[in-house]
Every structure is written in structure tokens, then in C-alpha cells.
Amino acid sequence: MHERCLFCRIVAGEIPADIIHEDDLVLAFRDINPQAPTHVLVIPKHHIDSAADIGPTDGDLLARLWATIADVADREGLSRGWRVVTNVGRDAGQSVEHLHLHLLGGRPMAWPPG
Ligand code: 5GP
Ligand code: ZN
């Protein structure tokens, strides 16, 4: 746990969140400022700065993150489609330095993203 990390503090229960899935490896909760009807953040429970810091021993974690995303998309009824985004660094707009995958759905989305 990184004591000053917002998402580590959500994992620890120190900051409330609308949690929709929790297991031993990952947590999924609704984004506080949703950009689509469904906007869920799926994160590892242990601290990783960003996708740039994923390593060769993180296979089980990655499988769990993606399986959770598919399950949440199903539960949210996103049969028309959904998008996953992870921002890395300043140019991409990463504002919380704890790896998180944005699951977005429930409306048509443009491409390319802004
Ligand atoms: P980033 O900009 O790093 O890709 O995404 C960070 C996301 O975290 C943003 O979409 C922002 O709305 C969300 N966020 C920031 N603070 C909180 C919070 O306290 N609770 C929740 N649930 N989401 C947050
Ligand atoms: Zn953290």
C-alpha cells in the first residue's frame, strides 16, 4: 500500500467508492466523474504505477483484470460494445498513478479518441 495513493486508499477502505467487484487480486468501482453511462475503473489491489510497469510475472493479474472487465461489461448489459482505455503518463492524461483500466460503454464512441 502506498499511503498517499488515492486508489490504494480505496482498496484499503479509507476512501469510499461504489465497488462492483472485489476479489483477491482486483477491485472494480464506478468512476466518480463518468464519461459514459457505464464508466468503471478496474485496478490491481497491489500498487503498480501504470501499464508501463507491468512485468513478466503479472500474467495472472492481467488475466484477472480482463476477465473482470468482460464480466462487468456483461453485467452492465453492454452488448452493443464497450471500450477499455488505460492512460500512461502526462501526454495521455494519467491523473492517478495507480494502474487502472477504464471500462466505458452505454453510448456510441468516436474514433480516434481525443
Ligand atoms: P486517469 O485520468 O488517471 O486515466 O483516470 C483517473 C480516473 O479516476 C478519472 O476518470 C477520475 O474521474 C477518477 N477518479 C479520481 N478520483 C476518484 C475518486 O476519488 N473516486 C473514484 N471512484 N474515481 C476517481
Ligand atoms: Zn496505489
DSSP character at residue 110: -
Query: pTM here?
Result: 0.98
Buried b (16+ CB within 10 A) or exposed e, 32-42: eeeebebbbbb
What does CATH list as the number for 6-105? 3.30.428.10
Structure confidence by residue, pLDDT tens digits, 60-111: 999 999 999 999 999 999 999 999 999 999 999 999 999 999 999 999 999 9
Residue-by-residue DSSP string for 23-92: -SSEEEEE-SS-SSSEEEEEEESS----GGG--TT-HHHHHHHHHHHHHHHHHTT-TT-EEEE---HHHH
Question: Ligand 2 center to residue 46 CA distance, Å?
Answer: 7
Return the ligand 1 atom nearest residue 95 CA.
3
Residue 53 CA: which ligand is closest?
2
Mean pLDDT for the chain overall: 97
The binding-site residues of ligand 1, defined as CB within 6 angstroms of any ligand atom, are 6, 15, 17, 29, 31-33, 87, 93-96
